Structure 1
Amino acid sequence: MNWKLCLAILTCNVVFMSASYTMLIPFLPMYLTHDLGVDAASVNIWSGIVFSSSFVVSAIMAPLWGRLADKKGKRLMAIRASLLLAISYFLGGIVTSPLQLTFMRMFQGFASGLWPMELAIMTTYAPPKKMGVCLGIMQGALTAGGVIGPLFGGMLAEFFGMRMSFFLAAGALLLNFLVLFFFIKEPPEEEEPRRAGIPIPAEQPSLWKNPLIRNMMIYAVFVQMVILLVQPILTTYVTVLAGPMDNLIFISGLVFSLGGFASAISAPLWGRFGQHHGFHKSLTIALVTAGICALIQTLPDDLYYFAASQFAIGLFFSGIYPSINAILAENTDSHTKGRVFGMLFSAQQLGSIAGPLLGGVIATLFGMKYVFLAAGCILLGISLTIRRNRREDTNLSIKY
C-alpha cells in the first residue's frame, strides 16, 4: 500500500476520532445535569468519576491490545477499536443515569486503542526518511480534531442537545471502521534480523528492559500529566483574568483553543526538524521551550498577554509527542510496534489520571498560578533527564 495514501486516510481518521472525543468530554457536566438529573452539589463528583473511569480501564487494557496487535494484526486491532468505540458513543446517547454513563465510559476505556494502532500502522508504512513528517502530520491532525471538537460540540449541544452529539460521534467512528476495513491493508512484516553469530531468541525480551523504551514511557507519563495538570483549571483561570466581560464562555473557549491551533500548525514542522536534526534534539528543544512558556504563563495579569503565551506554548508543546513517537518507531521493528505503542498509550493514561489530581491539590493549596509553575518545572526537569540519559539511549542501536 502506498504510504502517502495511508497517511491521507489515517490523518482523516485521526481528525474524526479526536473531534468525536473532544466534542463530548468538555460538556459531560452539562450532560449530567441537564439530561441525567444530577444536582449541582453532586455534579463535580460525578464528573470526576465519569471522566477518570475510562482512563483507569484503558491503562490496563492498552498493553494487552498492543500485544494482540503484534500477534493478530495492527489493522485488525484498529478495526476492533473503531467498531467498539462507535458502539460506546451510541450507548452514551441512550443512557438514563450517571451510573450508566460511568459504565459506558468504562466500556470506552476497554474499547480504546485506536490512536496507538494507527500510529503503529503508519510507522510501519512510512519510509525512514519521512517518519518525522508523517508522525508530525498525524499529531497535528489529533490536535486539530481537539480544536474542532469543542467548537462543533458546543453548537450541537446548543441546538440539538447532547444526545445528538453522542450519536454523531458514533457515526464518525463507524465511518472510521468502514474506511479501515475497506481501504487499509495490514502492514507487511519485517524480516527477522539475522546478524552473524547472533542466534534469534525464541521469545522476544521484555520491552521494559530496554532503557530507551523505558525512559520514553516515563517521559510520556509526565508529559501527559502536565497536559491534564493545566487543562482543568485553564478556563477558570481565563475567567479570573478576564473579569466582568461579555461573551465570557466564548472568550474562554477561544483562549483555550489557541494552543490547539498553534499545535496543529507547528506539529508537522517539528516532525521535519526532528527528521533532519535528530529526534532526541527536537524532543529536548520542545521540552525546554514549552517549559519556559509555561513559566511565563505565571506572569501575565492581562488576558491578552496570557492568550499570547497560550498560543506560544502550543507552538512548542507540539514537538514533544511526535519526537517520542519517532524515537520509539526507530528503535522497534514491525513485530513489536503494536506492543510499544500500546505501552505508550497506557503510560499516557496514567499521566491523565495523575494530572488532574495533582493540579487540583496545587490550585487549592497555593493558587492557580502555581499550577503553571509546576508544569514548567516538570517539563524542564524532563529535558535535563533526557540530556543526562541521551548517550545511553543513542547507543542502543539494536531494534527490539
Structure 2
Amino acid sequence: MRNFKKNLLICWFGVFTTSMGLSQLAPILPFYIRSLGVSEYEQITFYSGLCFGITALMMAFCSPFWGHLTNRFGSRLMLLRASFGMAFLTFFLAFVQNVEQIIIIRTLTGLVSGFTSAAIVYIALISPKEKATYALATLSTASVSGNLIGPLFGGLFAELVGIRALFVVIAALLFCSFLTTYFFIKDKGRVDEGVDLEFSQTGALKQNLSLLLTLFALTFIIQVGFNAVMPIMSLFVEQIHHSAHFIALWAGLVVAASGVSNIIFAPKLGKIADKIGAGKVLLIALAFCAVIFYLHSLVENIITLIFLRLLLGVGLGGLVPCVNALFKKIVPQKKLGLVFGFNQSAFALGNFIGSVSGGFLAGLYSIEFVFKMISVMFLVFALYFAILQRKSIFA
C-alpha cells in the first residue's frame, strides 16, 4: 500500500508537469506562427488548428500500438518513452524557422506522446481493487490542474522572456517527468505471463464486449462534448456579457471554474464509486452533465454561467475516472495496455472532432444549439448505458 501511494504521487506529479507544459502552447502558438512570417489572419488560424489537430490525429493512430507495447514491456518504459520524446521534440520548437517545421515537430510529437494514458494504465495495474476509482480520479486531477495553470504560466512567461525561451521551459518540465519516473518508479507496471483475469466477470462474454465498445464510445462523446464548447466559450461570454470590458478575464474565469470544482470533487466521487460501483456514478454523472449543458443554453449572465461551469466540473469528476475504473474491472490485466491504447485513440479523436464541430455548428446555427446538442448526446448515452448495465446498476 505504501508503494502504491508513492507511485500514485509520482505519476500525479508527472501528469501535472506534462499537462502544465503542453497546455502552455495554446495561448502562444498563434503568435509564434505570426512571428515566423505568416501575416494573414485566415492562415494563422488555419495553421494553429492544423498544428494542434495533427498531434491529436497522430495520437489516435499510434495509441493502440503503444498500448500493445505496454502489455509486452510494461507501463514504466512507456512513461519514459513519452516524457523523453515530448521533451526532446518540444525543445526543438524553440529553433524552428518556418511554420512547416512546426507542423513536422507537432506530427512527431503525436507519434511519441501518451504519458497520461501510460500513467492511467500503470495506476490501474498497481492500485488495490477497493481503491481503483479513487486512484484514477486523483490522477485525473493532475491533468486538470496542469491544464488550468499551464496557459496562465505560459502567457506570463512568454511576455517576460519571449516565446522561444518558453519552449525550452516546457521541454524542461517534460524532462522533469522523465527524471521522476526514471529515479522513483521501479515497478515496471507489467503483468507476469502467468497472471490473468477472466475476461467475463459477469459470466457473459458478449455483454462485456458490448460494454467495452460502449466505454470507447463514451470516452469519445465525453471529449466531443467538453471540447466542442472550448473554441466558442469566449464568444459566448462576450454574447451574454454585453460589454467589451474584461472579456478575456471573464472567459478565463468561466473556463477555469469547471477545472477548480473537478479538482475538489473528483477524488470524493472516486471514493463513492469504489463503494457503490463505478457504473452507478457514471450513469448519474452523464445525466447530471446532460442537464447542466442544457441549462448553459438558457444562461443570460456571467455569474450564472460560472455557477453552471462549477457544477459541470463536479459532473466531469464522475465521468472519465469511472470509465477507466470499468475498464480495469472487465478487461484482463494482460490486455489492459492495449485497451487503454484504443481508448486513448477515442480520446484524441473526440478532442479533434469536438474542437472542429463546435465552432462549425455554432457558426451554422448558434452557440445555444451546440449546448443543446451536447445535452442530447449525453442523455442518449446515459439511457443506453442504463439499459446495457441495468442488472449491475439497479441490482
Match of 2:91 in 1: 90
Match of 1:21 in 2: 22
Match of 1:187 in 2: 189
Quote how far apart the aligned CAs of 1:314 are.
Answer: 1.1
Q: Secondary structure at the match of 2:30?
A: helix
Q: Contact between 1:212 and 1:393, CA under 8 Å: does it hold in 2?
A: no
Match of 1:295 in 2: 294
Quote how far apart the aligned CAs of 1:107 are.
Answer: 0.8
Match of 2:34 in 1: 33
Quote how far apart the aligned CAs of 1:212 are.
Answer: 2.0
- Give the share of equivalent positions with the same residue, in percent: 27
Give, in whole Å, the separation in 1 of the partners of 2:249 and 2:38.
Answer: 25
Q: 1:357 to 1:14 in 2, by over 3 A?
A: same
Match of 2:215 in 1: 216
Gaps in structure 2 of 5+ consecutive residues? 200-204
Alignment of 1:240-389 (within 5 A): 240-389=239-388
Quote how far apart the aligned CAs of 1:216 are.
Answer: 0.6
The one-letter amino acid of 2:195's match is: E
Q: Secondary structure at the match of 1:146?
A: helix
Name whichever of 214-223 and 356-365 sits farther off: 356-365
Give, in whole Å, the separation in 2 of the partners of 1:96 and 1:268.
Answer: 44
Give, in whole Å, the separation in 2 of the partners of 1:375 and 1:163.
Answer: 38
Q: Contact between 1:140 and 1:266, CA under 8 Å: does it hold in 2?
A: no
The one-letter amino acid of 2:23's match is: T
Q: Secondary structure at the match of 1:272?
A: helix
Q: 1:82 to 1:307 in 2, by over 3 A?
A: same
Q: Secondary structure at the match of 2:232?
A: helix
Give, in whole Å, the separation in 2 of the partners of 1:336 and 1:31.
Answer: 41
Q: Contact between 1:207 and 1:214, CA under 8 Å: does it hold in 2?
A: no
Give, in whole Å, the separation in 2 of the partners of 1:237 and 1:296.
Answer: 14
Give, in whole Å, the separation in 1 of the partners of 2:306 and 2:340.
Answer: 33
| Cα offsets for 1:358-380 (capped at 9, x unmatched) | 21221011111111111111111
Give, in whole Å, the separation in 1 of the partners of 2:208 and 2:309.
Answer: 38
Give, in whole Å, the separation in 2 of the partners of 1:62 and 1:327.
Answer: 19
Match of 2:130 in 1: 129
Q: Secondary structure at the match of 2:42?
A: coil
The one-letter amino acid of 1:192's match is: V
Give, in whole Å, the separation in 2 of the partners of 1:383 and 1:310.
Answer: 20
The one-letter amino acid of 1:56's match is: L
TM-score normalised per structure 1: 0.91
Question: Is structure 2 residue 39 aligned with structure 1 residue 63?
Answer: no
Alignment of 1:33-52 (within 5 A): 33-52=34-53
Alignment of 1:110-121 (within 5 A): 110-121=111-122
Give, in whole Å, the separation in 2 of the partners of 1:99 and 1:40.
Answer: 17
Q: Secondary structure at the match of 2:356?
A: helix
Give, in whole Å, the separation in 1 of the partners of 2:96 and 2:207.
Answer: 40
Quote how far apart the aligned CAs of 1:223 are.
Answer: 1.0
The one-letter amino acid of 1:381's match is: V
Match of 2:202 in 1: none
Q: 1:77 to 1:288 in 2, by over 3 A?
A: same
Q: Contact between 1:207 and 1:340, CA under 8 Å: does it hold in 2?
A: no
Q: Secondary structure at the match of 1:301?
A: coil
How many residues get paired?
385
Q: 1:20 to 1:368 in 2, by over 3 A?
A: same
Quote how far apart the aligned CAs of 1:79 are.
Answer: 0.5
Quote how far apart the aligned CAs of 1:99 are.
Answer: 1.3
Q: 1:6 to 1:97 in 2, by over 3 A?
A: same
Quote how far apart the aligned CAs of 1:9 are.
Answer: 0.6
Q: Secondary structure at the match of 1:319?
A: coil
Give, in whole Å, the separation in 1 of the partners of 2:196 and 2:310.
Answer: 45
Give, in whole Å, the separation in 2 of the partners of 1:120 and 1:80.
Answer: 15
Quote how far apart the aligned CAs of 1:180 are.
Answer: 1.0
Quote how far apart the aligned CAs of 1:35 are.
Answer: 4.6
Q: 1:96 to 1:193 in 2, by over 3 A?
A: closer
